[in-house]
Amino acid sequence: MIDHVSVAVADLAASAEFYEEVLEPLGLKRMVDREATVGFGKRYPEFWLNRRPDMLPVSDDTGHHVCLRAPDRDAVTAFYERAIDNGGRGDGAPGERQASMSNYFGAFIRDPDGNKIEAVTFPRD
């Protein structure tokens, strides 16, 4: 349904470096570098960073976030730990959660600009 998403960042170079570490366990790699944007993906860019040098940090109460699929629990945990180790902050440690239709294992982080990003994996039947 959704082809790609973008998040705004104040410092594109620093954010690209942050996300290279954080997204690697999810199988996403840096694929496109342009003056004002960097794209990450598996086969094509699915997750974009857009440079907005004058932006203020994102408020915790915006109500929006981006959720990315992880291959397994270890990848969710690595995503979370790498975010913390590279200047992000936790917003929900790795663990079991109840979704509207099923249980899942997920973690939430805030990137250096305050964007809320989740990694999730669902149990296999």
Per-domain residue ranges for the chain? 5-53+66-121
The predicted model gives 16-43 an average pLDDT of 97
Is pLDDT above 50 for 6?
Answer: yes
CATH of 5-53+66-121, one of 3.40.50.620, 3.10.180.10, 3.90.190.10, 3.40.640.10: 3.10.180.10
For the segment 7-23, the average pLDDT, to the nearest whole number, is 98
The pLDDT score that the predictor gives to residue 101 is: 77
Look over the chain and give the mean of its residue pLDDT values, rounded to a whole number: 95
Mean pLDDT along residues 85-113: 93
Residue 115 confidence (pLDDT) above 90: yes
Backbone phi, psi, residue 15, to 5° = -70, -40
Judged against a pLDDT cut of 60, whether residue 125 lies above it is answered with: no
C-alpha dihedral sign at 120, 67, 9, 42: positive
Global confidence as pTM: 0.93
Question: pLDDT tens for residues 36-93?
Answer: 999 999 999 999 999 999 999 999 898 899 999 999 999 999 999 999 999 999 999 9
